[in-house]
């Protein structure tokens, strides 16, 4: 288990002769967090199959248990006895969310408006991330906030006796902010309205409706979404099947596309339209990805994806696509490193406030591994080297991952198709979202191995 005191675990990824086989990546992280939260809040029993067992989600489960939910495991299923609507209990100690922005921010909304005190903390990455984006609407709802300088963690929230339902226009494209306000609205009398100028992942809206909340979503001609939620309604326990996470599937998909000779199937991938920007982009680049067995279950679409090695061409990614692939830019930059021409990604300033400053971390990793690129304030251009000639680091220098799982996984994928090995300084953080990443990838044919920490 990774924690703040875990020693770093460096690793190397060497050129692969090609990936083959079928895999199922872990359950979707966004859906997993939300199913624990709503299951923990609802009246009655929720059963969850396919829940991600990554540390981010484990921390959400612990937080819900600290507020009165009863979680247990029955075979492959997680079973939650919810506290019942409006009945969360005051946690005895601080809620530690480790590395998880989503778990922390959504729980601040869910629990912060209760008439009790909740304290939030996290690891060295999470305590650097901006929390004002959640505190601002919560303050409007009547929550008192005491936080570290710059509205960061650790923070203490105390809700009012009765929370104000608000109308809130989300100032940045963020599903976490939208969701935090909606979850807070569950405990406010009357209608809470969230206006979302740019659509982001809609799992909170879908799942709230599935648990029986009274909620309406309207989209105008310009794509602006207005979500109205009636607070203090009744949520009842549900059965949830969590599909495979498209943000995790992205790693074997890109590895197969860039490594000659590859032919793989990634099973049961969530194909929610607010999450498939990377697949669209890779197809535009000439990636051979076919959807087999597209199907519907639990209000979501899933498909098995067959992916074959392809000669990729550079594209310009439209900025309005960013929310539907926000976590996939690091691995897209790796795909671009093997594509013919210059791939341009713009409108990606939000990458600077993820687990690391992902624009800076990706640019530094590309530089270390011989890939020509330009980093802008909110943009990245990558000039590819088809065939991977000259890519990698012959001196064994390590990419700095800055407690960021996606940086670690993206550069390990790069090593599968590069001329020289690619090394990263720490793979322990990958357990936050994709336990067993290296084993799953090596089962397909990559060569990812631990290396020694120098004395
Ligand atoms: O709502 C969610 O589940 C998430 C929203 C996104 O964050 P932002 O809302 O900060 O863009 C994404 O980066 C994160 O991995 C998961
Ligand atoms: C940004 C991410 O997660 P979070 O914000 O939940 O830490 C991610 O998983 O890429």
- pLDDT tens, residue by residue, 374-411: 999 999 999 999 999 999 999 999 999 999 999 999 99
Task: Categorize the per-residue pLDDT at 4 as very low, low, confident or very high, splitting at 50, 70 and 90.
Answer: low
Min mean pLDDT across 6-10, 92-96, 142-146 is at 6-10
Return the ligand number nearest the Cα of 204.
1
The predicted pLDDT at position 297 comes to 81
3-state secondary structure of 325: helix
Quote the CA–CA distance of 347 and 337 in Å, as a whole number. Answer: 19
Quote the CA–CA distance of 114 and 83 in Å, as a whole number. Answer: 14
- Do 254 and 282 meet the contact criterion of CB atoms below 8 Å apart? yes
- The DSSP result for 367-414, as a single string, is HHTT-EEEE-SSEEEEE--GGGTT-S-TT-PEEP-TT-HHHHHHHHHH
Dist. CA 107 → ligand 1 center (Å): 13
Query: CATH for 11-27+243-450?
Result: 3.65.10.10
Burial 163-193, CB ≥16 within 10 A → b, else e: bebbebebeebbbbbbbbbbbbbbbbeebbb
Decide if pLDDT at 1 tops 70. no
The predicted pLDDT at position 299 comes to 80
- The DSSP result for 329-353, as a single string, is HHHHHHHHHTSBSEEEEES-GGGGG
Annotated binding site for 3-phosphoshikimate: 29-30, 34, 174, 176, 327, 354
Task: Categorize the per-residue pLDDT at 3 as very low, low, confident or very high, splitting at 50, 70 and 90.
Answer: low
Quote the CA–CA distance of 325 and 275 in Å, as a whole number. Answer: 6
Nearest CA to ligand 1 atom 3: 30
Q: Is 327 a catalytic residue?
A: yes
Return the ligand number nearest the Cα of 358.
2
The predicted pLDDT at position 94 comes to 98
The predicted pLDDT at position 290 comes to 98
pLDDT digits (tens, 9 = 90+) for 320-377: 999 999 999 999 999 999 999 999 999 999 999 999 999 999 999 999 999 999 999 9
Min mean pLDDT across 4-13, 63-72, 282-291 is at 4-13
CB-ligand 2 contact for 327 (6 Å cutoff): yes
The predicted pLDDT at position 240 comes to 96
Q: Which of 211, 221, 183, 217 is nearest to 60 (CA)?
A: 183
The predicted pLDDT at position 293 comes to 87
Q: At what angle do helices 101-112 and 29-41 cross, to 10 degrees?
A: 20
Any residues with Cβ below 6 Å from ligand 1, and which? 30, 102, 174-176, 179, 201, 326-327, 350
Average pLDDT over residues 63-90: 96
Q: Give, for 140, the enclosing helix (H) or strand (E).
A: helix 132-140
CB-ligand 2 contact for 404 (6 Å cutoff): no
Dist. CA 405 → ligand 2 center (Å): 9
Question: How are the residues of the chain apportioned to helix, strand and coil, as percentages rounded to the nearest 5?
Answer: 35, 25, 40
What tokens does 150 get?
Answer: 């710059």
Quote the CA–CA distance of 22 and 202 in Å, as a whole number. Answer: 28
Q: Does the fold of domain 29-231 match that of domain 11-27+243-450? A: yes
Strand order through the sheet with 300-308: 20-23, 263-270, 300-308, 288-297
pLDDT digits (tens, 9 = 90+) for 257-288: 999 999 999 999 999 999 999 999 999 999 99
pLDDT digits (tens, 9 = 90+) for 281-306: 999 999 999 999 899 887 889 999 99
Decide if pLDDT at 202 tops 70. yes
Q: What is the ipTM of this complex?
A: 0.99
Which residue among the candidates 202, 241, 304, 327 is catalytic per the annotation?
A: 327
The predicted pLDDT at position 7 comes to 80
The predicted pLDDT at position 334 comes to 99
Nearest ligand 1 atom, CA 29: 3
Quote the CA–CA distance of 86 and 426 in Å, as a whole number. Answer: 41
Sequence ranges of the domains in the chain:
11-27+243-450, 29-231
CB-ligand 2 contact for 406 (6 Å cutoff): yes
CB-ligand 2 contact for 100 (6 Å cutoff): yes
Q: At what angle do helices 405-415 and 437-444 cross, to 10 degrees?
A: 20
Dist. CA 404 → ligand 2 center (Å): 9
Quote the CA–CA distance of 383 and 404 in Å, as a whole number. Answer: 24
Dist. CA 386 → ligand 2 center (Å): 30
| CATH for 29-231 (3.40.50.620, 3.30.750.24, 3.65.10.10, 3.40.50.720) | 3.65.10.10
Quote the CA–CA distance of 385 and 415 in Å, as a whole number. Answer: 13
The predicted pLDDT at position 385 comes to 98
Task: Categorize the per-residue pLDDT at 2 as very low, low, confident or very high, splitting at 50, 70 and 90.
Answer: low
Dist. CA 178 → ligand 1 center (Å): 10
Return the ligand number nearest the Cα of 355.
2
Average pLDDT over residues 247-251: 99
The predicted pLDDT at position 36 comes to 98
The alpha carbon of 172 is separated from its chain's Cα centroid by a whole number of angstroms, namely 17
CB-ligand 2 contact for 354 (6 Å cutoff): yes
């Amino acid at each position: 288990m990774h924690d703040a005191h875990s020693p770093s675990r460096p690793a190397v990824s060497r050129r692969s002769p090609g990936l083959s086989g079928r895999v199922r990546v872990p359950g979707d992280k966004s859906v997993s967090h939300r199913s624990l939260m709503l299951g923990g809040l609802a009246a009655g029993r929720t059963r969850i199959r396919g829940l991600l067992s990554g540390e981010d989600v484990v921390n959400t489960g612990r937080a819900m248990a600290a507020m009165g939910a009863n979680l247990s495991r029955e075979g492959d299923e997680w079973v939650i006895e919810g506290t019942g609507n409006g009945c969360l209990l005051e946690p005895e100690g601080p809620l530690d969310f480790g590395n998880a922005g989503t778990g922390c921010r959504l729980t601040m909304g869910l629990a912060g408006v209760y008439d009790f005190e909740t304290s939030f903390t996290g690891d060295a990455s999470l305590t650097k991330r901006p929390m004002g984006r959640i505190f601002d609407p919560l303050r409007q709802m009547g929550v008192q906030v005491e936080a570290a300088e710059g509205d960061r963690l650790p923070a203490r929230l105390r809700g009012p006796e009765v929370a104000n339902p608000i109308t809130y226009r989300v100032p940045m494209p963020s599903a976490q902010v939208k969701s935090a306000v909606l979850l807070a609205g569950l405990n406010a009398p009357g209608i809470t309205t969230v206006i979302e100028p740019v659509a982001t992942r809609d799992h909170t809206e879908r799942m709230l409706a599935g648990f029986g909340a009274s909620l309406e979503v309207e989209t105008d001609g310009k794509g602006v979404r207005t979500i109205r939620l009636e607070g203090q309604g009744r949520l009842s326990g549900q059965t949830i099947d969590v599909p495979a996470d498209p943000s995790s599937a992205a790693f074997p998909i890109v590895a197969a596309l860039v490594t000659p000779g590859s032919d793989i199937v990634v099973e049961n991938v969530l194909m929610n339209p607010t999450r498939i920007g990377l697949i669209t982009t890779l197809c535009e680049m000439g990636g051979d990805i076919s959807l087999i067995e597209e199907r519907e279950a639990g209000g979501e679409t899933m498909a098995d994806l067959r992916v074959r090695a392809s000669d990729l061409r550079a594209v310009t990614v439209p900025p309005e696509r960013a929310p539907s692939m926000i976590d996939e830019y690091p691995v897209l930059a790796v795909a671009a490193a093997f594509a013919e021409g210059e791939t341009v990604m713009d409108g990606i300033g939000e990458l600077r406030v993820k687990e690391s400053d992902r624009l800076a971390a990706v640019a530094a990793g590309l530089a270390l591994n011989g890939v020509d690129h330009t980093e802008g304030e909110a943009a990245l251009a990558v000039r590819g080297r088809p065939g991977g000639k000259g890519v990698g680091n012959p001196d064994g220098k390590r990419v700095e991952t800055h407690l960021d799982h996606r940086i670690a996984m993206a550069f390990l994928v790069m090593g599968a198709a590069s001329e020289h090995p690619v090394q990263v300084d720490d793979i322990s953080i990958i357990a936050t979202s994709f336990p067993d990443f290296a084993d799953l990838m090596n089962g397909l044919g990559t060569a990812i191995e631990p290396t020694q920490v120098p004395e």
